[in-house]
Amino acid sequence: MKRARIIGLGHYVPPKVVTNEDLAKVMDTSDAWIRERTGIQKRHFVEDGMGTADLAFEATKKALQDSKKEAKEIDFIILATLSPDYFFPGSGVLLQEKLGIDSIGALDIRTQCTGFIYGLSIADTMIRAGQYERVLLVGSEVHSTALDLSTRGRDVAVLFGDGAGAALLEATEGDQGVLSTHLHAEGRYAKELWVEAPGSLNPVPILNLEECRHFPKMNGREVFKHAVTRFIKVIQEALEANHVTKEEMDLLVVHQANLRIAEAVREYLRLPPEKMYNNIQRYGNTTAASIPMALSEAKAEGKLKEGDLVCLAAFGSGFTWGSALIRW
């Protein structure tokens, strides 16, 4: 049976490092508060003129190198982001242009923190159907240019960072690859974590910038509670669908929203620390980019070996959440 297999990974963060102490200079926060509540020590921010497609391009070059493939061998592009370069068109076509590959399809996904899992599901389905041989899947985010970097926005602003992660997927007939994906959404929670404007209901001409509706807003405690329970459920869903136990899982990579959330999930599942990979300490929450960035680093550190059973899970704005089980 055909399925998609990740044959190359790459990640990229812009050079500028922003520490917790740097944030404490522009808002009422502290290194101690941020570390204790989130585990984050630093994040990367772009300099002026660098956009989401630029980060995606850098990560893609590394994924192509890792897979020993060339851009022209890609049949389709999927780019997940909540921070596109423009309102439209999406950043997928911009990435296509940078890669110099004409006229292949390019799809943007807007399911926020769950974007990589949704993209993986779509790519796998396309490959299983025989539509494409090779699909490029990228999560890329520039948060820094749209955060309220003042005390008013500190609950959200200290969490996020910029970065991109890319995966090249290829059709395989063997035992390796994506075993299953599980996607969920519940729109009644849309306003628990959102950017309200600008949008079709609140277009720029009527927008009062002093109301700050253009900055991300989050009901942190509510999102935290839902995140922990839904992460656990959707991981269990993936394991049950494949008739495997959590003990058989070699590595769990959850969307890097908060180290406390990841640890709560790991402790509930009674997994030893070495079975979970986290890098939020260095990058903050990079939403759609966080899972491919973590996979790329885990691979580079030798923590992903052929035959490993790897579970991915994400939860975030929408609410959207999902999981994937992969035989590496």
Sites of contact with ligand UT7 (CB under 6 A)? 29, 33, 37-38, 113, 154-155, 158, 220-221, 223-224, 227, 257-258, 261, 285, 316
Residue (60 or 320) nearer to ligand UT7, CB: 320
Chain position carrying tokens 């820094």: 144
Would you report the helix, strand and coil content of the chain in percent, each value rounded to 5?
A: 40, 25, 35
Alpha-carbon separation of residue 102 from 17, 60, 73, 109, 201 (angstroms): 35, 16, 12, 20, 35
Shortest approach of ligand UT7 to residue 143 CB, angstroms? 11
Residue 236 · residue 325 · CB < 8 Å? no
Name which of 224 and 328 has its Cβ closer to ligand UT7: 224
Separation of alpha carbons 115 and 178, rounded Å: 16
Query: Which amino acid is present at 35?
Result: R
Q: Which is nearer to ligand UT7, 138 or 289 (CB)?
A: 289
The β-bridge relationship of strands 309-316 and 251-254 is: parallel
Whose Cβ is closer to ligand UT7: residue 123's or residue 159's? 159
What residues are annotated to the active site?
113, 255, 285
Shortest Å, Cβ 260 to ligand UT7 = 7
Nearest distance in Å: CB 89, ligand UT7: 25
Query: Nearest approach, Cβ of 41 to ligand UT7 (angstroms)?
Result: 14
For residue 96, the cross-strand partners are none
Question: For the stretch 87-117, what's the b/e string if a residue is b when 16 or more beta carbons lie within 10 angstroms of its beta carbon?
Answer: eeebbbbbbbebbebeebebbbbebbbbbbb
DSSP state letter for 86: S
Q: What minimum distance in Å lies between the beta carbon of 248 and ligand UT7?
A: 27
What's 138's DSSP letter? E
Measured from the CB atom, is 181 or 285 closer to ligand UT7? 285
Q: Which of 308, 307, 312, 316 is nearest to 295 (CA)?
A: 312
